[in-house]
Structure 1
Amino acid sequence: MAQIVVDDVYKLFGPRPHEALALARAGRSKDEILRRTGHTLAVAGVSLAIEKGEIFVIMGLSGSGKSTLLRCLNRLVEPTAGRILLDGEDVTALPPRALLQLRRERFAMVFQHFALLPHRTVLGNVEYGLEVRGVDARRRRQRALEALETVGLAQWADSYPGELSGGMRQRVGLARALATDADILLMDEAFSALDPLIRREMQDELLQLQAELQRTIVFITHDLSEALKLGDRIAIMRDGRVVQVDTPEGVLARPADDYVASFTEDVDRSKVFTARTVMRRPETVRESDGPRVALRKMEELQLSSVFVVDRERRLRGLVTADDALEAARRGERTLAAVVRRDVPTCSPETTLRDLIPVIARSPWPVAVVDERGRLVGLVARVQVLAGMAGEVAVNPPEGSGEPAQAHGRDDGASTAGGRSQSADGGAGQTREGGDVSVAGGDR
């Protein structure tokens, strides 16, 4: 079950919001509702499910309703209609005392303009949330120092906010949120006031912290590049409504409408698309299968190479048709003597940007391996180029039933699926080699 569920939430600003609610539910535009009722439609029928431990980014232009929606989650802004569920509990139904406790214990906020108290030291600012909660002085000091250590500011504990740079002040704000041990961080344009270089550093730091702490983070931004870098999923808002919820790759590959597509026009896809996006399922053999088995598979599938794996599907290397043919002629019974061990590899999360120099140096596809060394896919040069151009369909989840595609040598003569095809468009030619033959037209 999702940790946070937003269920058909509306927010209208004005003296009689419930009178204007009917127009919003009828799908009337923000401008029409303002003209007819004098009320501002900020959030319009939003439904979302946010999973525990994910960075969920809500983005949109100014006035899209993203910050209002964020504040509805902990009822700093009261929704006009709809429900907010936290671990199945209806936050919108909580009485004031229970709501206050929920805010103190479950939610922490990081603001765009730091919101630090200038008369308090850095340590005093980080302690503040714990102090309000009533935590004793010794424990809150220890927790605050630990949080400052986490963000690299322990040596600045006795300084004041005015003595710090913008990036350092934002780290103090982040440390204050971490010190409370709240499992949900609400970050409202947290890095927007920072210089570009410091902003990138803070983004990297947040990702590193998330890898260690695994908090649920709801992050607001108007910057698509930031959303793509940080988000496990992204919700794009326009005039109070959510127009698309998807992964970063999905937003680029499947924009829901022209509005979303306009955001993605100038995005460097090589920084977002990964090996997982473009990889294909490889054909494999085992070392013990022998050269004749490898040659038969390559001939049947019109390939010039196959990857070699062990019984647990861990990558052992690659064997070419020529090498397997020579091994068969010598009477070799296994592939051990002809397996090429220097196969280029990457992880499923390697970006296309990082794959480009790897694949440029190799005549073979890049093997995609998981953290246990198991072969999970391959990436050929043509797939990287397609991904760079945006002409790529995001791979379906495992178990979707879509057919696998094989691979051949990555010299530009193979099709995207890896089938052999000669440079002039004809099928690969077969040449004889004793009592075996091999499809070699894609070498």
Structure 2
Amino acid sequence: MSKRKVKDAALPVGECITQVCIKQLLTFEGAQWVLQSKICLFRHLLELLKRTAVHGESNSVLIVGPRGAGKTMLLKCVLRDLLEETEAQKNLLQVHLNGLLQTDDRIALKEITRQLHLENVVGDKVFGSFAENLAFLLEALKKGDRSSSRPVLFVLDEFDLFAHHKNQTLLYNLFDVSQSAQAPIAVVGITCRLDVLELLEKRVKSRFSHRQIHLLSSLTSTQYLERVQTQLSLPDHFPDGQFAQDWNDSIKTLCRDKSVGEILQRHFNSSKDFRSLHMLLVRVTQNMVPHPKPTIKPIDVQEASRVCFADATANMLRGLSILELCLIIAMKHLNDVYEGEPFNLQMVHNEFKKFLQRKSNSMYNFERPVIMKAFEHLQELELIRPVDGSSAKTQREYRLMRLMLDHSQIVEALQKYPQCPTEVKQWGMSAFG
């Protein structure tokens, strides 16, 4: 192959590999995975939603399992098959809510109205309760003859977070409608909490059908490694066949590398979630050198893994001022001396003054208001937090606090802190203040 051909082929390889990663990921997590591993659950959920979409029967169900087990993909595959039915495609409406986004019932109701395209119908109307508003929305969905309402599928992702809404009004009304057959709706909750039913109020629980679909990840470390190799391999129909063969051979060699195997095993032990694996592989492809001949080396995997496992809190410490870092070190020594007991600003200030007296360096002499401001900034960053709510009544210097960092995070931050003064680093690394 000429240099020009290699150069032309090298240019789109990074993008191509990323696309292959996504395609292989979707293929594995999609229909193939569902049909082979979860066929019974797939059929059960499909039949359940078909009763609502085609026959107008209301239902409710929870899909429960750890992250990465395929809960969302199972639902996506079911909906894909369901919408192949002409009647379902024509009539079924979908509302997708997420507990991380719709943090209260008012926001959730506004999102329901938007997704059902009923903003103009609601207009400036004022409703006495959430139930009246929801009933009005469902009434507005009735067909032209006003005899029957269009079926609606409500998908509640992060279902457990909706249980923290005031009085669980949204859940109560959705389950109440599904039970009383006011309108054909199906409520599908997706959650990682195995104890999610214990979070529901008695009146909400009594209106839930108690159908649960449990998904568990049966993936082995060998299958995980095979999936990495499959995702990074180029397809047979790649334009340059010789390049694809050389690339795939290099990927097999990479996956047999001992250091790469240890990294992938660590990721597997940390999380079997394919989203985290996908994030790792995308970073790997970004790190590789595209010229003259693109290849992925073990060092690229190590660097990508380092970024993925980076401690966000330790990185935050690297952005603190020297004063704030000194206060953190003083708290660390107080934790060591008093075995994790709470401390206050006065105790931290006294510990800091001991350090200043030993060093007798004027560059670390700060006025008390400046120290107090730095202490409050650490609280805003949530690196320290009050022991309890009653501390608000206590004078600021004497409010009890806890350090939200462990010893290793502080040591790591000191080692990576840009141009950290030697005496501060020695103070932080020492066993005693």
TM-score by length of 1: 0.29
Question: Which has the higher relative contact order, 1 or 2, with Cα contacts under 8 A spaced 6 or more apart?
Answer: 2
TM-score by length of 2: 0.29
Q: Choose between structure 1 and 2: higher strand proportion.
A: 1
Q: Choose between structure 1 and 2: higher helix proportion.
A: 2
